[in-house]
Every structure is written in C-alpha cells, then in structure tokens.
Amino acid sequence: MVNVPVTEESELAARKAFRYFSRKVFVVPNNRYYHEQRINAALLLNEKEPLQGALADFFYGCWYDIPYNVEEIFARIQGRLHPQIEQAFHNCINKLDYIKHSSIFATRWSVLVTPSLNVDTHRLRISSDDAKEVAKNITTELMEARDNENWQTIKQIENEFFAHCLACNDRLAFSIVWFRLGKSDWLFDERWSDCQQRLEQTTVSNEERTTPIPEAQ
C-alpha cells in the first residue's frame, strides 16, 4: 500500500469523519458500514490510538461478521499497530479470542468498549512518540475550539484526554499539554488537578509494588 502524505487539511477532515462515524457506531453498534468508514478515517491519521480503538469497537459490535471478509481490512492496517496488537486482532478473526466490553485493547477513542484497569498492560503500548503525537493533536484541537468559542467541544475533548491519560498512565502527554496550554493562559478547572493527582497516585502505587521488601534482620 502506498503511503499518501497527510496534510493538516486532510487530517482535520479525517478527524471530523472519525467523530461523525463514532456517533453513528454508538447509536447503531452492529452496523458494519459505519465501523468500516470509521476505520477508513482512522487510517488517515498519524496516531495509532484511533485505529486501535475503532478496531476494538468493530470486533465488539460486529462479532458475528468477523470471520467473513475482513482480511482486506487487516491487509490495509498491516504495520500500523504494534505487532502484538495486530496478532491479538488476528486471534479474534481465528476465533482464538474475542473482545470483551472491558478490554485492554480499548483506547480513549473507543465508544463501545472501555479500557480495562490493567494499567501495566496499557503502558506497554504507549511509546513516547505516541504520547507526543497525542499531546500535539489535543493541544491543537483545544486551541481551535477556544478560538471558535465552542465550549462544549472543549469539555468533550478534555474529558476524552483525561480518560486516555488515566487508562494508559500517559503522564508524558498530560505534562506536555498542561505546559503548552499554560503558556496560552488556559483556564484549568478542578478536573485537570484531579487527573494530575490520580496520575501521581498511580506512579506512587507502581513504585511501591516494584520496591523490594527488605529482608528481616
């Protein structure tokens, strides 16, 4: 498959299409056409999370369609996701596994399935490059929404971002967005402080789990 350069205009159009079909999927979870159009939009984005989230919803909502005529879809996503994630979806095609409502394959972009609380597993698929890409796109979307005085969209984007950070323990993306918005006089409400505190608590909890218990003298 030939990689077509993604411009800012085409990525913005893809994001709008992705959100549009996300709403359609949420209302009609078993409509394969809506799922496929959403996957097509995700393929035009640089981030991995929208594609992974759309695929997780597809496997959950269209479970009975999965064994039939899905190889073409997965030929197009080859190399776009982490090899272990791709293999996991192929296992679903071969009926070796299936996507549950609470899934480690869900992302903040999923609308039918929700991220499981297995933070360690989630963290394995969030690289620093992914975190920086998430931060760049979130900052751009929030600034554009503020310029257009679209306050409801701002709240929605913020809530999606908080859900992503907490599910994936993505402290890097949170820190970058906090810093960039702070330079633009962003009005941070209590949700931002709450998310920061919960991320810090998760960090402390992880450190306590990995700290060896000293032997008794």
Q: Evaluate whether residue 216 is within a structural domain.
A: no
If asked whether residues 86 and 132 sit together in one domain, one would say no
Dihedral sign for Cα atoms in the order 123, 127, 128, 134: negative
Q: Are residues 81 and 34 in the same domain?
A: yes
**Both 90 and 31 in a single domain?**
yes
Pairwise pLDDT comparison (28 vs 103), residue with the higher score: 28
Domain membership of residue 103 as a residue range: 8-116
- The answer to whether residue 42 is domain-embedded is yes
Which pair of structure tokens corresponds to residue 31? Answer: 């409509």
Residues 158 and 104 in one domain: no
- Check whether residue 175 and residue 203 sit in a common domain: yes
Residue 215 pLDDT: 42
User: Quick one: 102 and 134 in the same domain?
Assistant: no
Q: Final residue of a domain: which of 90, 116, 142? A: 116
Q: Which of 65, 82, 116 is the last residue of a domain?
A: 116
12 and 110 together in one domain? yes
pLDDT at residue 27, rounded to an integer: 85
Structural domain ending residue among the three candidates 56, 81, 116:
116
DSSP reduced 3-state for 115? strand
199 domain residue, yes or no = yes
In a domain, 133, yes or no: yes
Residues 6+ positions from 5 with CB-CB distance below 8 Å:
none
Under 8 Å CB-to-CB from 199, ≥6 apart: which residues? 165, 166, 169, 171, 174
Verify that 92 and 159 share a domain, yes or no.
no
What is the number of structural domains in the chain?
2
Does residue 146 share a domain with residue 177? yes
Q: 202 with 139, same domain?
A: yes
Would you state the structure tokens that stand for residue 16, as one six-digit string? 């709008």
How confident is the model at residue 203, as a pLDDT? 62
Characterize the bridge pairing of strands 102-103 and 114-115. Answer: parallel
Do 106 and 71 belong together in one domain?
yes
Please tell me which residue, 206 or 90, carries the higher pLDDT value: 90
Q: Do the domain assignments include residue 3?
A: no
- Distance, in Å, from the CA atom of 182 to the CA atom of 176, rounded to the nearest integer, reads 10
Q: How far apart are CA 25 and CA 185, in angstroms?
A: 36
Q: Is residue 90 part of a domain?
A: yes
Q: Is 121 inside any structural domain?
A: no
User: By three-state DSSP, how is residue 29 classified?
Assistant: coil
| pLDDT > 90 in the chain, percent | 26
pLDDT category of residue 205 using cuts at 50, 70 and 90: low
Residue 217 forms part of a structural domain = no
- Tell me: do 156 and 94 sit in the same domain: no
SS3 label, residue 103: strand
DSSP notation for 137-199 = HHHHHHHHHHHTT-HHHHHHHHHHHHHHHHHHT-HHHHHHHHHHHHTTT----HHHHHHHHHH
109-127 tens-digit pLDDT: 888 888 664 444 444 445 6
Confidence of residue 204 (pLDDT cuts 50, 70, 90): low
- What is the arithmetic mean of pLDDT over 93-108? 79
Query: Hey, is 35 helix, strand or coil?
Result: helix
